[in-house]
Amino acid sequence: MGRSRGGLTSKIHALVDADGRPVALRLTGGQVHDSQEVKALLDVMPEGATLLADKGYDSNAIREAAANKNVWANIPSRSNRKHRFAFSGWLYRQRNLVERFFNRIKHFRGIATRYDKCPQNYLAAVKLICARIWCAA
């Protein structure tokens, strides 16, 4: 768990497949930037896949790591970036699968309100819910 101005917080970083089912999960403190965990999630991605991410993941290092893995990074460029990259708005609409995954796990009150203060227990509860999502599909 991380500490921020709002108190103790945490972030769940998730990689989902084309059906919205979780493939990989990472848990960090709330103050950790999103781009810090993308390399661990890229290791799980199959070669030739497409990475759909929001502007928080727009960095040269992430794009290079994706290119080394032969993964196309469909990430919108930040407004202050001088060089724009190829971006498909039509394909980017599929990113809602990640948002829908987070909505599904937050239907469980213990996850939404973060009852577990131990990060290992919280991540275990999230993984149990993910197993339920996989079984229901």
Binning pLDDT at 50, 70 and 90, where does residue 14 land?
very high
pTM for this structure? 0.84
Burial of 70 per CB tally in 10 Å (0-12, 13-18, 19+): exposed
Tallying the residues shown for the chain, one arrives at 137
- Tens digits of residue pLDDT in 93-128: 999 999 999 999 999 998 888 878 888 999 999 999
Q: Which of 100, 72, 71 is nearest to 88 (CA)?
A: 72
Domain ranges of the chain: 2-136
| Fold of the domain built from segment(s) 2-136 | Nucleotidyltransferase; domain 5 (3.30.420)
Report how far residue 103's alpha carbon sits from residue 87's, in angstroms, rounded to the nearest whole number: 26
Contact 77, 54 (CB under 8 A): no
